[in-house]
Structure 1
């Protein structure tokens, strides 16, 4: 089992836990619990089992109370997070839940999805992806070996067949020659069947690995909430686009965009509405995306854009166009139908090639964003104007 299928294993693990809890709370368990007062002798012999039943029932009730208190949907994902938090079986989840409860006092369905996505991203390591690629290469090597073996077997069969035909032409006794021909043919047929079986098995395994690899890459490089590439994917894109821009002598600009007063949106309208605002802004930004413009969610309410073929000033105009579009939108809180305050974002833009390395350019764009916030928000600042 490869590391890239860890998210699937986690889901199966949750399913197994649910199944075990269901069995523990089934009629059989209830019958045993109901029989305890009437059969004290049986209770003594099965005291450990009885305690386990009580423990499971208590845990089930605690999880139900947790989901109800936070108005969470009864889904395997929410159930699993509640279980990991209440039992302490997953340190990362436990810390994340404690942090959000301290800050907000409540968690939402959208928050649970984000935490689950972050955990899956953490599980999909470069080493796991490399291991899967090695396995694919191994399968391809096996495939090549089988094809070589098949060709060699065919050559051997042909050579042997020619020798026997020579014997027939020379007038030797036909009966032994025909018997050997039949034996050769049967041997060739059997080898062919074996190779075909191995090829089919190899093909199935390769297809499964390919599917797992694609899922792992999506999990590792995409933001679960917005569907945009994440920070990890953006860093790889930045390296590729920088090399391409330098090779072709093209300009390259980067922009940081941050939703204004996003905490207030969450506090006023709830985190589910905040999640929808994030997705809406992501959709507006992604409209500018093409093979020379890349948009990603950098984290929280912050997005990053990369423009190859545009100067910093041109990129600034492009980002400002999206900002103006957003500022004219009138959004509605779906949960109560109330019209929301105008949603806006601030941005900072920098010329990547003006700095000694991409990290310095990102810092420059981030400083420009900070100053845009400081000077009233809902505006785009160009880093070059600030130096």
Structure 2
């Protein structure tokens, strides 16, 4: 769910104009963090951030330092402010160096223009052959010096561009790591909550169905106790890969915590969600895992699943709790089964 910035130079220039206009319109302090917030706002690909900023703009509130920090951490950095701050400081260093180099090059051209003006004045006041020769030598020499300076500037700008590209990759890596479970490579719970929040907002606006599956591996503690946590980790990675084969398209999969996984199914009604859950349960129940060194079978691998469909007006927590309640009921009824949540409407 993470994004880079694939815009063409023309699109980036257009976005930059919109960003500067937005910052000027709302008196936003022009620092790198606020620039990142406004750039994401202009791209309109992070609905939760846009809603938060729209709240500030609608009430005429100023985006102060504390609010800027909070918005950046919640909607862009995903908790990696340490890495982001280091990268931001490095970016500022590069930009300062580029600006100084451009100013220096500009000064060289300004001095050359001033010199030409002085030469012209001398010729008008006292034209003679010796002065003409002297000025000719100077006019030829100075552009060569500027050319050397410009080449040096070009080299430095090229180096700065390469540094910025490396920094961009570092920022993307930091953002990706902040959103990913390191064991399975799936989304982590925090990133999934952001996806779920956005999906609920869309479901409310479009009045489309939205279902949530919660999955828990049955008797997973026995695997850890019997074979050790390293084997348990391998089982979790295996399940992550298996689930990724089933979850397709716009559906979103995450490791919710421990041996629990969550699957979000947009535009999916209850019967479709139950069909997905049963497919997953059957695939897991048919798995036969062996220890690599001894070939020993680990035994039957099963999972319990809870299914809930979103109800207009309920919060993220309420929706998640209903799916979790259905999961608990599936385990209470004997495990290795799918249970749908039927809590009556109030």
- Same-fold call, TM cutoff 0.5: yes
Q: What RMSD over aligned residues (CA atoms) do the two structures have, in Å?
A: 3.3
Q: By how many angstroms is 1:141 displaced?
A: 4.7
Structure 2 equivalent of residue 251 of structure 1: 209
Once the two structures are superposed, residues 247-286 of structure 1 have per-residue CA deviations (whole angstroms, 9 ceiling, x without a partner) of: 4443222211100000112223333322221111111111
Does the 8 Å CA contact 1:139/1:202 hold for their aligned counterparts?
no
Q: Size of the alignment, in residue pairs? A: 264
Give runs of aligned pairs for residues 243-282 of structure 1, distance below 5 A: 243-282=201-240
Does the 8 Å CA contact 1:139/1:206 hold for their aligned counterparts?
no
Give runs of aligned pairs for residues 53-132 of structure 1, distance below 5 A: 125-132=79-86
TM-score of the aligned structures, taking structure 2 as reference length: 0.65
Does the 8 Å CA contact 1:372/1:381 hold for their aligned counterparts?
yes
Unaligned segments of structure 2, at least 5 residues: 1-77
Structure 1 equivalent of residue 281 of structure 2: 323
Does the 8 Å CA contact 2:105/2:153 hold for their aligned counterparts?
no
Structure 2 equivalent of residue 226 of structure 1: 184
Is 1:242 paired with 2:206? Answer: no
Closer, same or farther: CA 223–195 of 1 in aligned 2, 3 Å: same
Closer, same or farther: CA 355–376 of 1 in aligned 2, 3 Å: farther
Does the 8 Å CA contact 1:254/1:349 hold for their aligned counterparts?
yes
Q: Which has the larger radius of gyration?
A: 1
CA distance in 1, matches of 2:300, 2:89: 52
Closer, same or farther: CA 241–191 of 1 in aligned 2, 3 Å: farther
Structure 2 equivalent of residue 214 of structure 1: 172
Once the two structures are superposed, residues 309-340 of structure 1 have per-residue CA deviations (whole angstroms, 9 ceiling, x without a partner) of: 11243222212211111112222232321223
CA distance in 2, matches of 1:143, 1:247: 47
CA distance in 2, matches of 1:335, 1:225: 21
Does the 8 Å CA contact 1:132/1:213 hold for their aligned counterparts?
no
- What SS class does the counterpart of residue 298 from structure 1 fall into? strand
Does the 8 Å CA contact 2:80/2:174 hold for their aligned counterparts?
no
Unaligned segments of structure 1, at least 5 residues: 1-123
Q: By how many angstroms is 1:168 displaced?
A: 11
Is 1:347 paired with 2:305? Answer: yes
TM-score of the aligned structures, taking structure 1 as reference length: 0.59
Is 1:307 paired with 2:307? Answer: no
Once the two structures are superposed, residues 116-161 of structure 1 have per-residue CA deviations (whole angstroms, 9 ceiling, x without a partner) of: xxxxxxxx94322542563476367548746864884686488569
Match of 1:360 among 318, 329, 338: 318
Once the two structures are superposed, residues 18-57 of structure 1 have per-residue CA deviations (whole angstroms, 9 ceiling, x without a partner) of: xxxxxxxxxxxxxxxxxxxxxxxxxxxxxxxxxxxxxxxx
Closer, same or farther: CA 309–153 of 1 in aligned 2, 3 Å: farther
CA distance in 2, matches of 1:193, 1:374: 74
Closer, same or farther: CA 246–145 of 1 in aligned 2, 3 Å: farther
Once the two structures are superposed, residues 57-106 of structure 1 have per-residue CA deviations (whole angstroms, 9 ceiling, x without a partner) of: xxxxxxxxxxxxxxxxxxxxxxxxxxxxxxxxxxxxxxxxxxxxxxxxxx
